[in-house]
Structure 1
Amino acid sequence: MPPRIAITTLLTACMLTAGSMAQAQDPLEEALKVPGAKPVLPVSAAKKPFDNDFIAEARKYWGNFHWQMGGDHALYYNTHLSEFVPMAASPAVGDVRPLQRTPVDSVKATTFVHDDGSTAIPLDDYVMILHHGKVVYEAYPGLNPEQSHFWASVTKSTVGLLASILEEEGLIDVNKPVTAYARQLAGTAWDKVSVIDALNMAVGLDIQEDLPALTNPMSMFQRFGAAELGVPNGDGVVETPVAVLRAAQPIPGEAPGMPSRYSTLTTKVLVYVIEGATGRSFIDLFGEKVWSKIGARQPFMVGLGPDGVAGAYGMGFSAIEDLARYALIYTPSWNVVSKTEIVSPGVLKELQTSGNHDAYMAGDWTRGWVGDVFGKDMPVFNSRQFDAAWADGALFKHGNLFQGIYVDPMRDVVGVFFSTVPMTAGNDLLPGYIRQAAKNLAGK
């Protein structure tokens, strides 16, 4: 297989190789036999228009499971998502806030130490970054700067942020059960889940998102994904998102709050919470409180489920530079893009400190990709939809097929990246590089 270079741009351009395909279970083996499921094209192919035959084939096989494979068709899906799902948009408002470029050549030499003590290859084979609100490193191996791209689970950060803003405004009490606001789930296991436990991915329900769930067409995750796209599940049945969520059951021996287990379904529930608490749509609220204030060049778009509710668990869509503008609002350089402080000190503190170390350690986070990606520089917990929060206040959120956002208020550094990498390719090491580059840039 030829190298699969990750589509990246501003702040963090990534050039990851796919590696050999891992030994798969039967559903994955079968899925990989479908045309377009394996990466064959170089990622640079996405910089030019695809021909009609390729587009027709991609359309033929469109579906959540096929998309998540990260093969050649995903190159098209990730940059043309609005052709496959209905999307709501928050328009760019006012003048564009330009980002200055002040390249720092030394960033290319960044390395970091793996958990086993070995040193990673230089950042020059991977990346790019922003310091004090200025772009210090960028590259576009598989994406034109003006192209929009799928955010994947980086979108979840918008849910954690918006819920925290609404909490500060007194519209959400995070200690109440989610069904106090998400009434469509009342009378189910969700009655015992608090908003804060949902924000921290600690719901105690059988909706965990891990490799078995990703590769099993009838897992709760894949059933939900099919329902959100309005397509049949692995058994050929079209379900509604609410029906799948209502079917969630407690994990034997566990309870909400312990341990923390990652799940996209939980974020959809939080969107219901936000809309139930305000009586307004997610996209309108996010546009009013965030996107309209950052001097974006293009709209922020988010896919809608069949129920018309935003898929803010992963269906965000924008240009990379606008994702960078969004990232800056968490840092002291927020005024580079906004006239007003969108993320207040109180909201930022909640985002940085709301996690539970014991729940984090008891979950899969530290035994899985987090430990591999950050080596000995481990985060202390996940917090309010961010996958990693460090004692120094830095936050990171990852997305499937390797998307990411790193915000480091203390060092005034942010990093964002887009890519299309097969889910069987192993762990994304790029976040470890970004964090090390942030330390190097800040001198600590």
Structure 2
Amino acid sequence: MNTTMKTTMRFKLVNTLSLFFITAAPLATAAVDVTKTRDGYTLEQSQTYSSATGYKELLGGDSVTSWWAENISRTMLTAVLPNRLPASTFETDLDEWPLKLEAVTADTHLGEITLSEAINDPRAAVKAMIILHKGKVVFETYPGLHPANSHLWASVAKPTAALLIEQLIDEGKLNDSDRVDTYLPDFAGTALGETTVQQLLDMVPGSDTHDSPSTRRDPDSVATRYYRAEFDEAYKDGKVETVREILQGAGRTGPAGERFEYSSGITQMLVFIAEAVTNQSWSDAFDERVWSHVRADGALQVHLAPDGMAMAHGIVSSRLRDLARYGLLYTPYWSQVADKQVVSDAAMARIVNAEHNREAYAKGDGQRFTPLLGEAPVANSRQWDAIYADGGMFKGGLFGQGLYVSPEEGIVIAYYSTAPASPLHRFVRPLSKALTQE
């Protein structure tokens, strides 16, 4: 391939990536300099930003979003899941790895740059990043956040909703092939009542619940309505709906199982099912089954809608190291951070076996996620955005949050940022390969 062809292909790919970010957050503005707020906010800033945390305002990715991502419990009901065990102590391997990893390059919307350049570019708004290899910390930086501060996971939290379902499958309390209305009788006769548990896990519901650039711009879309409901914002005629009511009214757009259509509402269906089967609030069930077994530094904050619904699709907060601990639960190194195995071998096998969803991924939102990541995965699977042939797993968040896990190698890459366009997603695969080539 000649230089001109390479340049042209790179231009198209980077512009596709830029288009993804621009359309994914239509109100996005320039990223803020997060280093200036690392040590906190003034009284005036906190009062101003607190009063401006509506659904549309938070899509902007600017100062309001950045403040809110660190202070959600000031504006929303919050279930606090305490760290019940003594915190685990990570071993470190920081003699050579940081310099090697900082030199890793990726082709991003900011150009072909090193990890060091990406982290230090104000446009990336990187607040914190940690990399584990075989359970050891090999890289860690906090340019815009103190290590003890919690931060929004955003959609990185979606696998938490799937994890409770995986446990219930392991226990024989439900099956992948079961219909939703088996557990949620109030969904009988609705489009989502006909879908199966696996179709929810893989986000192939065939319903008008799609969360996309176009649905976020449409004030009458199901996606916009369920997001507004979470912020206690009226839809029409002063009526404030609940997410459950909105999803009960979702319509059928095609056969389930055919297209990957990303949707936070579909994640919330898993929350409702877990609550019905366990007869516990989702927060209590996750605390008992998962978080109480993690040797965390701090509490996990599960933020709630006005009706008390746990917003496990993304409105979850924790310290960065605790997000990394969560990622390590999906590896053979789980015993370094937990007192029991909470992600079973059987669950892991179901997650990484993404071949069944390859066609649906390619037809649907795989066309958005592949440019985001820079390397095409096999497919999405069970609330993870991408599964690679070598077992790598990725889940991203709207404003540049990310969690990448390479199970067998014990690699976990976790990061927080608040940027309309974060380059860090493009680094997860090159970083993972750099670690495994040693």
Q: TM-score, normalised by structure 2?
A: 0.87
Contact 2:400/2:425 (<8 A) preserved: no
Q: What's the offset of the Cα at 1:114?
A: 7.3
Matching residue's letter, 2:246: V
Partner residue, 1:295: 295
Corresponding residue SS for 2:284:
helix
Partner residue, 1:176: 178
Corresponding residue SS for 1:227:
helix
Pick aligned residue for 1:121 from 113, 116, 119: 113
Partner residue, 2:329: 329
Corresponding residue SS for 1:171:
coil
Q: Deviations over 1:96-138 (max 9, x none)?
A: 10122222121111124679xx983112223552101111111
Aligned equivalents of 1:183, 1:76: Cα separation in 2: 40
Partner residue, 1:371: 370
Q: What's the offset of the Cα at 1:60?
A: 2.5
Pick aligned residue for 1:190 from 189, 192, 207: 192
Partner residue, 2:126: none
Partner residue, 2:252: 250
Contact 1:114/1:372 (<8 A) preserved: no
Partner residue, 2:206: 204
Q: Deviations over 1:372-410 (max 9, x none)?
A: 2333x3111111100001121111111111111111012
Pick aligned residue for 1:45 from 36, 41, 44: 36
Partner residue, 2:76: 85
Partner residue, 2:281: 281
Identity %, equivalent residues? 33
Q: What's the offset of the Cα at 1:258?
A: 0.7
Q: Deviations over 1:200-240 (max 9, x none)?
A: 00000011111122233332212101112212237754222
Partner residue, 1:411: 409
Q: What's the offset of the Cα at 1:244?
A: 1.1
Corresponding residue SS for 1:44:
helix
Matching residue's letter, 1:442: T
Aligned equivalents of 2:174, 2:19: Cα separation in 1: 46
Q: Cα–Cα, structure 1 residues 357 and 143, in superposed 2: closer, same or farther, change >3 Å?
A: same
Q: Does 1:107 align with 2:101?
A: yes
Aligned equivalents of 2:107, 2:63: Cα separation in 1: 32
Q: What's the offset of the Cα at 1:364?
A: 2.1
Contact 2:295/2:339 (<8 A) preserved: no
Q: What's the offset of the Cα at 1:192?
A: 1.5
Q: Cα–Cα, structure 1 residues 190 and 126, in superposed 2: closer, same or farther, change >3 Å?
A: same
Counterparts of 1:55-94 in structure 2, within 5 Å, are 55-94=46-85
In structure 1, runs of 5+ residues without a counterpart are 1-17
| Deviation larger for 281-290 or 356-365 | 281-290
Pick aligned residue for 2:223 from 218, 221, 224: 221
Contact 2:200/2:270 (<8 A) preserved: yes
Corresponding residue SS for 2:141:
coil
Corresponding residue SS for 1:82:
helix
Aligned equivalents of 2:259, 2:221: Cα separation in 1: 20
Q: Cα–Cα, structure 1 residues 114 and 19, in superposed 2: closer, same or farther, change >3 Å?
A: closer
Q: Deviations over 1:3-30 (max 9, x none)?
A: xxxxxxxxxxxxxxx98998889x95xx
Corresponding residue SS for 1:65:
helix
Pick aligned residue for 1:434 from 404, 413, 428: 428
Q: Cα–Cα, structure 1 residues 362 and 44, in superposed 2: closer, same or farther, change >3 Å?
A: same
Aligned equivalents of 1:58, 1:41: Cα separation in 2: 14
Contact 2:158/2:314 (<8 A) preserved: yes
Partner residue, 1:15: none
Contact 2:204/2:258 (<8 A) preserved: yes
Partner residue, 2:125: none
Contact 1:91/1:300 (<8 A) preserved: yes
Contact 2:300/2:318 (<8 A) preserved: yes
Contact 1:218/1:234 (<8 A) preserved: no
Matching residue's letter, 1:336: Q
Q: Cα–Cα, structure 1 residues 188 and 24, in superposed 2: closer, same or farther, change >3 Å?
A: closer
Aligned equivalents of 1:374, 1:303: Cα separation in 2: 28
Contact 1:90/1:291 (<8 A) preserved: yes
Corresponding residue SS for 2:105:
coil
Corresponding residue SS for 1:129:
strand
Aligned equivalents of 1:390, 1:49: Cα separation in 2: 38
Q: Cα–Cα, structure 1 residues 59 and 339, in superposed 2: closer, same or farther, change >3 Å?
A: closer
Q: What's the offset of the Cα at 1:299?
A: 1.0
Counterparts of 1:28-39 in structure 2, within 5 Å, are 38-39=29-30
Q: Name whichever structure is richer in helix by fraction.
A: 2
Partner residue, 2:13: none
Matching residue's letter, 2:371: D
Aligned equivalents of 1:23, 1:228: Cα separation in 2: 24
